[in-house]
Amino acid sequence: MRIVVAGAAGFIGSHLVERLLRDGHTVVGLDNFASGSRANLTALVSHPAFSFIEHDITRPLPPLGTCDRIYNLACPASPIDFGPRPLEILAVCSQGVWNLAELARRAGARFLQASTSEIYGDPQEHPQRETYWGHVNPIGPRSCYDEGKRFAEAWLTACARQHGLAVRIARIFNTYGPQMRADDGRMLPTFIVQALRGEPLTVHGDGSQTRSFCYVSDLVDGLVRLMESDVTAPVNLGNPAEITILAAAREVLELTGSRSEIRFVSRPADDPRIRCPDITRARTLLGWEPQVSRRDGFARTIAWFRQRC
């Protein structure tokens, strides 16, 4: 198949491109390097079935030829991006999605949107099922991303209803692995880099808030399964093994062998208190289940960062 991946230079996008090339597909990658990096493309650019176009999806798309599938992973997704770039994020989730959906409609392609657990906000249902409508502050510091991704789901659902567009919606929970940005502000790369440098690990609040961490190869497998399925309802993709942030910090210290201390610092506004996916839908409809344990995945990620710190 000929497949377009928007956000190809991003953390998840670059792993997805690698998987699709391994599966024998031809891939056209788009990215404007808003949060992705050229380094993530280094191993891909020499592949004969891969081509790359530097492009901002909020602008009219260049001619891309025929395509069978479009994966949209283009969007800054780290909480540190939400403060300085809210309008850019809202534009990517609205105009950007519109442009890609138009391409899909004209090409008769199937479209997979990388949505997010953030659409559930600070959840009042736990674990979160796809039927939960969420608890989102529409004007809070995270609203550009939360509401942007909610709008994208609404837009694509409308395209499916009005134009018959074949849409798949993956609600991605916290994902980690090699090729995350060391400075992207997210918990795991921050803690790993701090541990390897012997600096204090900055735990927000008292660290009792929870997250559930999914290794990137598991997530990518879920994306491909969803795209190739006939499931048109949103599907949670994440690892339901839930852990407090404080326990995650201790695990990083143990696995790195670091003697860094833990420093408790103030917690960002609207930081969700708990997060854990109910993956019954992915299990039953896609036959998908995470394979990589957190300890194994953390260890692989630490090994990758160790080479670079």
- Does position 75 interact with ligand UDP (CB under 6 A)? The reply is no
Residue 116: name the closest of 211, 190, 22 by CA. Answer: 211
Q: Which stretch binds ligand UDP (CB under 6 A): 53-61, 101-109, 148-156, 204-212?
A: 204-212
List binders of ligand UDP among 266-295 (CB under 6 A): 267-268, 271
- Does position 44 interact with ligand UDP (CB under 6 A)? The reply is no
- Does position 202 interact with ligand UDP (CB under 6 A)? The reply is yes
List binders of ligand UDP among 124-183 (CB under 6 A): 174
* Residues 6 or more apart in contact with residue 51 via CB below 8 angstroms: 27, 28, 29
Q: Which amino acid is at 75?
A: C
Closest distance between ligand UDP and the C-beta of residue 268, in Å? Answer: 6
> Is 176 one of the catalytic residues?
no
Closest distance between ligand UDP and the C-beta of residue 206, in Å? Answer: 10
Sign of CA pseudo-dihedral 283, 113, 166, 132: positive
Q: Which is nearer to ligand UDP, 2 or 204 (CB)?
A: 204
Structure tokens at 118: 């953030």
Q: Which stretch binds ligand UDP (CB under 6 A): 12-20, 184-192, 282-290, 293-301?
A: 184-192
- Does position 237 interact with ligand UDP (CB under 6 A)? The reply is no
Instruction: State whether residue 79 is helix, strand or coil.
Output: helix
Neighbours of 232 (CB within 10 A): 12
Closest distance between ligand UDP and the C-beta of residue 102, in Å? Answer: 29
What's the CA gap between 164 and 262, in Å, rounded?
52
Residue of 55, 69, 186, 225 that binds ligand UDP (CB under 6 A):
186
- Does position 203 interact with ligand UDP (CB under 6 A)? The reply is yes
Phi, psi values for residue 169, rounded to 5°: -125, 115
Residue 59: name the closest of 99, 119, 27 by CA. Answer: 99
Q: Which is nearer to ligand UDP, 4 or 152 (CB)?
A: 152
- Does position 217 interact with ligand UDP (CB under 6 A)? The reply is no
Q: Which stretch binds ligand UDP (CB under 6 A): 89-97, 125-133, 147-155, 198-206?
A: 198-206
Burial per residue of 56-87, b for 16 or more beta-carbon CB atoms within 10 angstroms, e otherwise: bbbeebeebeebebbbbbbbbbbbbbbeebbe
Which of 71, 120, 145, 215 is an active site residue? 145
End-to-end CA distance of the chain: 38
Catalytic annotation, residues:
145
The residues of the shown chain that bind ligand UDP, judged by CB under 6 A, are 79, 174, 186-187, 190, 202-204, 209, 211, 245, 267-268, 271
